[in-house]
């Protein structure tokens, strides 16, 4: 398994591990309590869907903010 990671930099490995830890934390701390709060199956599915929907929205806002910061930096650096 380690042989396949030789071409990756330490930054790429760190980003991958961080993404995996964040995904597990999201499942444990957000999705699991939402799932456990309801008794009926359709309510649990709806709570899980809404949790993932909010997570995707937050991820989109974060990506948009990151792209905005990079765009502003490039504009300031070029002038």
Q: What sign does the CA torsion over 13, 15, 18, 19 have? A: negative
For residue 27, count other CB atoms closer than 10 A to its CB: 15
Q: What is the pLDDT of residues 7-33, one digit of tens each?
A: 889 999 999 999 999 999 999 999 999
Count the domains in the chain.
Answer: 1
Q: What is the pLDDT of residues 42-77, one digit of tens each?
A: 999 999 999 999 999 999 999 999 999 999 999 999
The pair of three-digit structure tokens given for residue 1, joined into one six-digit string: 């398994």
Residue pair 48/35 in contact (Cβ under 8 Å)? The answer is: yes
Residue range(s) defining the domain that contains residue 13: 2-78
DSSP secondary structure code for residue 37 in this structure: T
Can you tell me the distance from the alpha carbon of 56 to that of 5, in angstroms, rounded to the nearest whole number? Answer: 28
pTM score of the predicted model: 0.71
């Amino acid at each position: 398994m380690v042989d396949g990671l030789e071409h990756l930099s330490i930054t790429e490995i760190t980003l991958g591990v961080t993404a995996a830890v964040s995904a597990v934390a999201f499942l444990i701390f957000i999705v699991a309590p939402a799932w456990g709060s309801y008794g009926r199956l359709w309510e649990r599915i709806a709570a899980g869907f809404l949790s993932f929907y909010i997570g995707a929205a937050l991820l989109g806002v974060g990506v948009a903010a990151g792209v905005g910061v990079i765009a502003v930096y490039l504009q300031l650096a070029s002038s």
